[in-house]
Structure 1
């Protein structure tokens, strides 16, 4: 199994805790979601640096993905 980044490891832990707290679906694959979020953030960072999108657009993309994962209203109040 390939080594994961520290950011991905932290996300995996946070998503597992959110799953235990009922903030995300019980069947959420925390490893896959953590990998997707970190890869997405890396790609968005590059596109912002290259001027392909604004920082606000990048945040909106990440917010959409977090809204997809977090299914409880508690998430909406944390931003």
Structure 2
């Protein structure tokens, strides 16, 4: 069960990283774009800020199951 939950968290993290990269590389056209439930204005500053935030959150979400395993292994000793 823990392995399945870790796999799901890693997949969600990778998806958030992907959406962050697509937001970072988006060509600004129009008023706003919907990304992960947020309406992001299409100014360069907003795209860079939200894209970088999504990439960092995705990395944290991807690394959390791996860090939890390391902490649990360390606590067992």
TM-score tier (shorter): 0.3 to 0.5
Which has more helix, going by share of residues? Answer: 2
TM-score with structure 1 setting the length: 0.37
The answer to which structure has the higher strand fraction is: 2
Higher relative contact order (CA 8 A, sep 6+): 2
Larger radius of gyration: 2
